Chain A
Amino acid sequence: AQTVTQSQPEMSVQEAETVTLSCTYDTSESDYYLFWYKQPPSRQMILVIRQEAYKQQNATENRFSVNFQKAAKSFSLKISDSQLGDAAMYFCAYRSFGGATNKLIFGTGTLLAVQP
């Protein structure tokens, strides 16, 4: 079975600085998808960034980028120029490739605080 581990329960960053959230996963599959979700106090889960495992190039979405290291099974999220609105719980998630159901497997989350 696949597992996702987030080893940092809480992180803090100064506004305008850069922060990296860690995520590791365990799988025997060669094809899969990885996600970072943001959950603000409103509770609405928002997709931040996504990565297909067969793509070597790291995904980037504006101030958000990932460092995907397939051999190490690591998928960290870098937030540049942090803003107050980035304060939220961040979840790393894994999904198998193919199949009809495609459930997401989540990590335990990292609570990010942004200091003004």
Chain B
Amino acid sequence: DVKVTQSSRYLVKRTGEKVFLECVQDMDHENMFWYRQDPGLGLRLIYFSYDVKMKEKGDIPEGYSVSREKKERFSLILESASTNQTSMYLCASRDRRVWFGYTFGSGTRLTVV
């Protein structure tokens, strides 16, 4: 089975810290995505990548950046964490050969204090 692994399930960081959220997939998927999940707002796309070193902004990229140096790893970076970035972050990858082939990680619940 395809696995999408997010390195931390829970994370607590201080305001102003630089935060890295890591996501690794093991099935050579080209597409990878970072979503933010908030109650009443659903999942909103932050950034996505369609290949190594290729990235595009999603709907809410402000305050975030991403890195994809290797195909299997897609990192979300909070340059200077703020309390309004307290949220659940979900990573996903997609097999381009399968139109419904999205696989999600188990999420990282980030609290910024």
Contacts and interface: CB of A to CB of B under 8 A. Distances in A.
Given A50-B100, A91-B42, A109-B42, A103 B58 contact: yes
B31 A102 contact: yes
Interface string B52-68: 00001010000000000
Contact of A101 (B50, B92, B104): B50
B40 A47 contact: no
A35 B35 CA distance: 17
B58 to A, nearest CB: 7
Contacts of B88: 43
Contact of B33 (A91, A100, A103): A103
A103 B104 CA distance: 13
The contact size tier of chain A is 20 to 34
Task: Give the top 5 A-B pairs by smallest Cβ distance, nearest first.
Answer: A45-B104, A108-B42, A106-B43, A43-B107, A106-B42
A42 B100 contact: no
Interface string A3-44: 010100100000000000000000000000101000000111
B43 A91 contact: yes
Interface string B82-113: 00000010101010100110101011000000
